[in-house]
Amino acid sequence: MPRFWRRRHDDGHEPDDPKAVPIADARARARVRVRGEVVQMRTRPVHGLPSLSITIRDDTGTATIVFAGRREVGGITLGRRLVIEGVAVDSNGTLEFTNPAYTLLSP
Partner 1 sequence: MKVVIAGAGSVGRYMARQLLAAGHTVTLIDQLPSVRQRHTDDADGVAWCVGDACEVDTLTAAGVSDADVVAAVTGDDEDNLVIALLSKQEFGVPRTVGRVNHPNNEWMFNDMWGVDVSVSTPHLLTAVVEEAVNIGSFVRLLNLGAGKAGLAEVTLTESSPAAGSRIDALDLPRECTIVALIRDRHVVVPRGDTGLLAGDEVLVLVTRDAEADVHRVLVG
Least distance to partner 1, CB of residue 76, Å: 18
Report the C-alpha gap between 65 and 40 in whole angstroms: 10
Q: Considering only residues 14, 46, 60, 71, which one is a binding residue for partner 1 as defined by CB under 8 A? A: 46
DSSP labels, 40-86: EEEE--BTTB-EEEEEEE-SS-EEEEEEET-S--TT--TT-EEEEEE
Q: Does 99 help bind partner 1 (rule: CB under 8 A)?
A: yes
Applying CB under 8 A, does 78 fall inside the site for partner 1?
A: no
Interface contacts to partner 1, rule CB under 8 A: 2-4, 28-29, 46-47, 49, 51, 68-69, 86-90, 98-100
